[in-house]
Amino acid sequence: MSGFEEIYRLYFKDVFLYMRALCRDESISEEIAQETFVKALNSIDSFDGKKDIRAWLFTIARNTYYSYCRQKHIPLEDAPEAAVSDVILTERIENEEQAMALHKLLHELPEPYKEVFNLRVFGELSFEKIGIIFGKSAGWARVTYFRAKKMIIEGIEKTSE
> CB neighbours of 153 closer than 8 A, spacing ≥ 6?
84, 86, 88, 89
For 106-150, how does the pLDDT look when each residue is reduced to its tens digit (9 = 90+)?
888 899 998 888 788 766 778 888 888 889 999 999 999 989 988
Buried b (16+ CB within 10 A) or exposed e, 71-102: eeeeeeeeeebbbbbbbebbbbbeeeeeeebb
Helices 96-108 + 138-159 axis angle, to 10:
140
pLDDT for position 139: 92
> CB neighbours of 135 closer than 8 A, spacing ≥ 6?
none
pTM of the shown model: 0.51
pLDDT for position 32: 93
Higher pLDDT, 52 or 126: 126
For 66-103, how does the pLDDT look when each residue is reduced to its tens digit (9 = 90+)?
888 888 877 665 454 444 444 444 444 445 566 677 77
Cα 159 from Cα 23, distance rounded (Å): 29
pLDDT for position 88: 42
pLDDT for position 25: 81
> CB neighbours of 128 closer than 8 A, spacing ≥ 6?
138, 141
Asked if 29 and 23 touch (Cβ cutoff 8 Å), the reply is yes
Please check the confidence at residue 42 and state whether its pLDDT lies above 60: yes
Element (H, E) at 73: none
pLDDT for position 83: 40
